[in-house]
Amino acid sequence: MKTITTFAAIAALMTAVPAHAEFQLGDRYSDEDGDLIADIPTDESELLDPSTLIFAYTPVEDPAVYAEVWQGFLDHMSEVTGKNVQFFPVNSNAAQIEAMRAGRLHVAGFNTGSNPLAVACAGFRPFAMMAAEDGSFGYEMEIITYPGSGISEVADLEGKSLAFTSETSNSGFKAPSAILKAEFGLVAGEDFETAFSGAHDASILGVANQDYIAASIANSVKDRMLDREVVTPDQIEVVYQSQTFPTTAYGTVYNLTPELQDAIREAFFTYDWEGTALAEEFGRNGEDKFIEITFQENWEVIRTIDEANGVSYDCN
């Protein structure tokens, strides 16, 4: 199994592609302080103070799996904010972004790859991430196959097929696309065929059941599925692992009242994980608290990957 430094691969690729404009927010948002996220409106008529807060977690797996996992935390958020809080199951990153853009989603965890799009086009203001007790965080992109597939290294993908998850996923599409081209000279649709499973659990199950010969996935999802015995170690082989990326970021839509945004932040950073369903589920990855992050700093590598892939954000 080969591991490379993603920054090195991206730097190599960017010498071969035209430069793109720096990250910019959609026209409906302002960024006077230059932190790359939408400012909170100063006009009180533009602010939202809903009686019920709607929360959605990124659809890396079946949303039904997470409704109960998040309930204790949502009860805590309700106590801190004085609002009703409702879990909103979403089946795609696009649906999650559109719900926030349309004002139907107030608090969310957006996956790594969709964060820039959510920030640029939906007014998402991320501020928290899950981490271990020592403050370490993140996951790796892995390319997996099944035993006996004939794929023992990345070069063996040539002429075969690789399953991605969705085009907004970092580990499920963006990072492997950039890395395979930069480091291995393999271009999707030219050197290997592609399929889109829609979610990381679908890709992992597809490989385990030999429906896909290979897939690029987030190993945090794989590890949780292994721990729950949804798949077993003898069904999967890892042929590539990337550097560590930031994981799901949590935040609010930009136009909630400042007081409500502050209360929501307080809910994240005062939550007691011990003995909770959240700790049981995400403790499988060693995560047991929320830490403060910034989009400007922590998502720099993801914006670099987007630039290397020629990604632009159409917020119309």
- The pLDDT tens digits for 57-77 are 998 777 777 899 999 999 999
- The pLDDT tens digits for 105-126 are 999 999 999 999 999 999 999 9
- Say which residue the tokens 């993603």 belong to: 6
Mean pLDDT computed over every residue of the chain: 90
What region, left, alpha or beta, does residue 221 occupy, with left being phi > 0 and alpha being psi -120 to 50 degrees? alpha
Q: What is the pLDDT of residue 106?
A: 98
Q: Does the pLDDT at position 13 exceed 80?
A: no
Q: How far is it, in rounded angstroms, from Cα 182 to Cα 18?
A: 14
Share of the chain above pLDDT 90, in %: 75
User: Helix and strand tally (H, E) in the chain?
Assistant: 11, 12
Domains of the chain: 2-13+139-245 (3.40.190.10), 17-136+246-308 (3.40.190.10)
- The pLDDT tens digits for 125-138 are 999 999 999 998 98
Band of residue 2 on the pLDDT scale cut at 50, 70, 90: low
Band of residue 1 on the pLDDT scale cut at 50, 70, 90: low
Neighbours of 210 (CB within 10 A): 13
Q: Which amino acid is at 137?
A: F
What's this model's pTM, rounded to 2 decimal places? 0.81
The token duo for 267 is 């809910």
Q: Which amino acid is at 22?
A: E
Residues 6+ apart with CB under 8 A from 254: 29, 37, 38, 39, 40, 41, 123, 124, 125
Q: Does the pLDDT at position 257 exceed 60?
A: yes
Contact, 125 vs 30, CB < 8 A?
no
Q: What is the pLDDT of residue 10?
A: 45
Q: How far is it, in rounded angstroms, from Cα 113 to Cα 309?
A: 12
Q: What is the pLDDT of residue 309?
A: 80
- The pLDDT tens digits for 155-164 are 999 999 999 9
Contact, 300 vs 293, CB < 8 A?
no
Residues 6+ apart with CB under 8 A from 249: 109, 110, 112, 115, 126, 127, 128, 129, 293, 295, 298, 299
- The pLDDT tens digits for 213-256 are 999 999 989 999 999 999 999 999 999 999 889 999 999 999 99
Strands 193-196 and 52-57: unpaired
Q: How far is it, in rounded angstroms, from Cα 217 to Cα 66?
A: 19
The arithmetic mean of pLDDT across residues 28-38, rounded, is 96
Q: Radius of gyration (Cα) for the chain, nearest Å? A: 19
Q: Cα-flanking dihedrals φ and ψ of residue 52, to 5°? A: -125, 125
Q: Does the pLDDT at position 20 exceed 90?
A: no
Q: How far is it, in rounded angstroms, from Cα 47 to Cα 31?
A: 16
- The pLDDT tens digits for 162-190 are 999 998 888 999 899 988 998 899 999 99
Contact, 157 vs 214, CB < 8 A?
yes
